[in-house]
Amino acid sequence: MNTITAAITAVGGYVPDFVLSNKVLETMVETNDEWITTRTGIKERRILKDADKGTSYLAIKAAQDLIAKANIDPLEIDMIIMATATPDMMVASTGVYVATEIGATNAFAYDLQAACSSFLYGMSTAAAYVQSGRYKKVLLIGADKMSSIVDYTDRATCIIFGDGAGAVLFEPNYEGLGLQDEYLRSDGVGRDFLKIPAGGSLIPPSEETVKNRQHNIMQDGKTVFKYAVTNMADASELILQRNNLTNQDVDWLVPHQANKRIIDATAGRLELEDSKVLVNIERYGNTTSGTLPLVLADFEDKFKKGDNIIFAAFGGGFTWGSIYLKWAYDKK
């Protein structure tokens, strides 16, 4: 029996219609377009304005886009992994609801949370299920409604984040394509530098926590930036070395879209030319779990069967890593 590898065979994406531009942010907090663009590379981000819609709405839309483009029957999906840092609610899994809503009633589903590395970790998990031989179609969705946890009076965070979702389908491959190698790491030192302080078991919700805005995302930007630059670049470089790849062997870098300077530092360490670095941060900002699959959805036309793709991400916790994947198809 041939060795099974796990390959991405379809992608989908979705972003809300409402555009929150830097110019609009200038009217909300003390900032300006030049300052934001210079430091982050972000020009605008998409926001899900509907108060009655959560992350599940974004995920459902991205999954439906994939299903329609790939022309697959949702009943054939074996499992769904929902990568998100902003579930609709506690306890009741967002992924389970999404599975039911898209008609994937034969699938089991659950949520995976590793902040901005959620989708990267999800790739490893989805691939392992496929490689086990037990599952044929694993749908991995990355989605976050970051606007639901952002304090729009805090200029340090409100300029960064946006809402969006992407999805990929992992299936067995017998040509050696798909996920080749991974290097995933975490370090609990990051717990103090990027977090939502209240709402969990440590500090349950109360009138006081709401009044103190402790349910919004908070970060020590300089510390997070320093760790992100070092660790994303280190992980990506190690993946190349471990697989005897040079910068000429890499066709594409798909980096987490948190900050253009972090992306540039990672690409610089790998000595990749700009044309190989896929970036859409200027249009969406940081959609957390949605960044990597949204890049795949936006640039799917560029990928050719056999292309070597390096994924890299860094998230709160801290969590980070890099994955080496061989693309499995030419878009029809």
pLDDT tens-digit readout, 46-78: 999 999 999 999 999 999 999 999 999 999 999
pLDDT of 1 above 60: no
> Mean pLDDT, to the nearest integer, of 3-20?
97
Active site residue 158: no
Mean pLDDT of 271-280: 97
* pLDDT mean over 287-307: 98
Helical ranges in the chain per DSSP H: 22-25, 33-40, 55-70, 94-101, 118-131, 155-158, 207-211, 221-242, 260-270, 281-284, 291-299
- Take residue 131 and report the two structure tokens written for it: 């490689």
**Assigned token pair, 330:** 């030419």
What residues pair up with 315 in beta bridges, in sequence order? Answer: 319
- What pLDDT band is residue 332 in, cutting at 50, 70 and 90? confident
Which of the residues 116, 158, 231, 259 is marked catalytic?
A: 116
- For 33, the token pair is 């377009």
**142/118 Cα distance (integer angstroms):** 7
Average pLDDT, the chain: 96
Structure tokens at 286: 């940081």
pLDDT the model gives residue 246: 96
Rounded CA gap, 187 and 114, in Å?
12
What CA–CA distance (Å, rounded) separates 56 from 75? 19
| Contact between residue 288 and residue 313 where contact means Cβ atoms under 8 Å apart | no
What is the pLDDT confidence band of residue 90, given thresholds at 50, 70 and 90? very high
Query: Is the confidence at residue 279, as pLDDT, over 70?
Result: yes
Q: Which of 27-31, 43-47, 95-99, 238-242 is predicted with the least confidence, judged by mean pLDDT?
A: 27-31
CA 122, CA 112: separation in Å to the nearest integer? 7
pLDDT in tens, 150-199: 999 998 899 999 999 999 999 999 999 999 999 999 999 999 999 999 99
Percent of the chain clearing pLDDT 90 (strictly above): 98
Residue among 249, 282, 266, 6 at smallest CA distance from 124 = 6
pLDDT score, position 221: 87
Paired strand residues for 14: 165
Residue 2: which pLDDT band, with cuts at 50, 70 and 90?
confident
Residues comprising the chain, all counted: 332
CA distance 194 to 115: 9
Q: pLDDT-based confidence at 331, cuts 50/70/90?
A: confident
Question: In whole angstroms, what is the distance from residue 254 CA to residue 11 CA?
Answer: 14
Whether the per-residue pLDDT at 28 is higher than 80: the answer is yes
Mean per-residue pLDDT, 252-277: 96
Catalytic residue among 22, 173, 231, 286: 286
As a whole number of angstroms, the distance between CA 253 and CA 238 comes to 14
Half-sphere exposure of residue 75: CA atoms within 13 angstroms, side-chain side: 0
Identified catalytic residue from 158, 216, 256, 259: 256
Show the tokens assigned to 279.
């970036």
List pLDDT tens digits, range 103-153. Answer: 999 999 999 999 999 999 999 999 999 999 999 999 999 999 999 999 999
